[in-house]
Amino acid sequence: MNTISKIFLRREAGIFVMIVLFCLAVGAFKPQFLTLQSLRIVLLLVPLILIGAMGQMLVLVARHVDLSIGSTLGFSAMVVGMMFKYYPEIWWPLGFLVAIGVGAGLGLFNGFLITLFRLPAIIVTLGTLNLYRGLTYIISNAKQIDRQYVPSELKAMSQTSPIFGIPWIIFMIIAIALLTYWFAMHTRVGRQIFALGSNPVAAQLRGINVSKITLLVFALSGALAGLAGIMYASRWGFVNPSNTGSGFEFQVIAAVVIGGVSINGGVGTVLGTVLGVLLLGCVSSALPLLGIPGTTQNAIYGAVIIIALLIDRGVRQRAIKTISAKA
């Protein structure tokens, strides 16, 4: 077994244990939490976050952050929704291409501003977060795309199941996670993202094209947000210019940092991120069951991000200590 995998597994095992303990604790009070039905609720809660988290993970690994994904999701969903509304004759799966393409375009624009003008990603994406949201209002004339316009086949993806009662959307996110894993761990460009985040100076010295990689991670993050956009339409059956995707970035960032992705770049795994998303999903679905109002959710997300940052720092400090102890 690879030593690096071992180290990560320890972190991931930690999150896994937390998920189990949490579910058992909730189950002790509310036995209905430990049923297939509630598993289904959790699984239906997380797909969008998971899709976004895969992209955000790559962005954080490359030492950046993308705050605009919520608006990217909203804009892509709106473009697709309007396509369905005004051109209902178009073959509906084309919507996937459109959503992903639009998202990738918005992501590229972020990456372009960041690399060309050497601006901090956080400020640029704070700007585009609002820009893309505004554009969503403008193209939609501030009108919602209602249920009747969203193709029923698309909506069915989040409900009907090919096998074992597991909806299509779950298979889809499993495929996306596996693809991301393959991309991050087994392609040269994936490893270059990790190298860049681990040490940007060394990356340049080793001939890695830093601008190209940066553009790529933002394009990927945007494309995945776009995909999450069309899946939003599938899951909820409508697209609203103000609600769709609003606050999405925070849920995603919370999930990713719980999953052990370091804000200092270079560190992060798909498995950890998936577990982070699941933990977040379990917590969110347990709250109403425990009679805790849904209004606490954001406070919990925020607290969780802060705690994850502190844990991350603790892990790093311990690593440094073990090094100096050895030296």
Partner 1 sequence: MAANSTSSATPLLVSRGISKQFSGVEVLSDVDLDLMPGEIHALLGENGAGKSTFAKILAGVYRPTRGTLTMNGAPVEAYSPIHAQRLGITLIHQEPISFPDLSVAENLVLGHERGSLLGRVHWAGMERRANELMDMLGIRIDVTRPMRGLSIADQQMVEIARALVGDSRLIIMDEPTAPLTPKEVETLFGIARKLRDEGRTIIFISHRLEEVQALCDRATVFRDGNLVDTVNVADVSDDDIIRLMIGRSLKEYLHKQRTTIGDVALKVENLTLPGVFSDISFDVHKGEIVGVGGLVGAGRTDVARALFGVEPAATGKIHVNGSEVAIGDPSTAIDLGLAFVPEDRAVAGIFSSLSVEKNISAAVPGKITSGGIIRRALEHAVASDSVKKLRIRLASLQQPIGELSGGNQQKAILARWLLTDPSVLILDEPTRGIDIGVKAEFYDMIGELAAGGRAILLISSELPELLALCDRVLVMSEGRLTANFDRSEATQESIMQAAVPRSADQEVAA
Partner 2 sequence: MSVTEKSEIAAAPQRESASARPRWQVMLIRPELMTFVLLIIALIVASSLSPYFLDIAYILDSFTLSAELAMVALVLTIMIIAGEIDLSPASGMALAACTFAYAQQAGVPIPLAVGVGLLTGLAMGLLNGILVIRFQLPSIIVTIGTLIFYRGLAQVIAGDQSIRVPEWFIGINRVLVFGIPVPVLVFVILSVVLGFVLSSTIYGRQIYLIGTNPIAARHAGIRANRIKMSLFLLIGITASIAGMMTASRLGSVRYDIALGGELQMVLMAMLGGTYIFGGRGSILGTFLAAWLLVIVSTGMIVANILPAMQLCVLGVLLIISIIATNFIYSRTQR
Q: Which of 21, 90, 142, 290 binds partner 2 (CB under 8 A)?
A: 142
* Both tokens assigned to 310: 């502190």
Q: Which of 13, 97, 138, 175 binds partner 2 (CB under 8 A)?
A: 138
- 320 forms part of the interface with partner 2 (CB under 8 A): no
Q: Report CA-CA distances (Å) from 278 to 39, 55, 275, 305.
A: 10, 16, 5, 15
Cα end-to-end span (Å), the chain: 26
Report in angstroms how near the CB of residue 8 gets to partner 2 at its nearest: 21
Q: Which of 313, 318, 321, 322 binds partner 2 (CB under 8 A)?
A: 313
Q: Which residues sit at the interface with partner 1, rule CB under 8 A?
A: 1-5, 7, 185-192, 194-195, 197-199, 201-203, 205-208, 266-267, 319, 322-324, 326-327
Q: Which of 148, 152, 211, 296 binds partner 2 (CB under 8 A)?
A: 296
Report in angstroms how near the CB of residue 48 gets to partner 1 at its nearest: 27
Beta bridge partners of 145: 239
* Both tokens assigned to 24: 């058992």
What CA–CA distance (Å, rounded) separates 327 from 323?
Answer: 6
Q: Helix, strand, or coil here: 276?
A: helix
73: number of Cβ within 10 Å? 35
- 135 forms part of the interface with partner 2 (CB under 8 A): yes
- Give whichever of 54 and 62 is closer to partner 1, judged by the CB atom: 62
Q: Which amino acid is at 45?
A: L
Give the x/- contact pattern for partner 2 in 62-91, rule: CB under 8 A: ---x-x------------------------
Q: Which amino acid is at 91?
A: W
User: From the list partner 1, partner 2, none, which binds 175 (C-beta under 5 to 8 Å, kind-based)?
Assistant: none
Please name which of 64, 235, 253 lies closest in space to residue 155, comparing C-alpha atoms: 235
What is the residue whose two structure tokens read 């403008």?
Answer: 138
Report in angstroms how near the CB of residue 62 gets to partner 1 at its nearest: 12
Please name which of 99, 114, 80, 96 lies closest in space to residue 218, comparing C-alpha atoms: 114
Decide if 266 contacts 7 (C-beta within 8 A).
no
Report in angstroms how near the CB of residue 285 gets to partner 2 at its nearest: 17
User: From the list partner 2, partner 1, none, which binds 295 (C-beta under 5 to 8 Å, kind-based)?
Assistant: partner 2
Characterise 247 by phi-psi region: left (phi > 0), alpha (psi -120 to 50), beta (else): left
Q: Which of 7, 17, 34, 122 binds partner 2 (CB under 8 A)?
A: 122
- Give whichever of 163 and 327 is closer to partner 1, judged by the CB atom: 327
Give me the residues that bind partner 2 (CB under 8 A), please: 65, 67, 113, 117-120, 122-124, 126-138, 142, 241, 250, 253-254, 263, 293, 295-303, 305-306, 309-310, 313
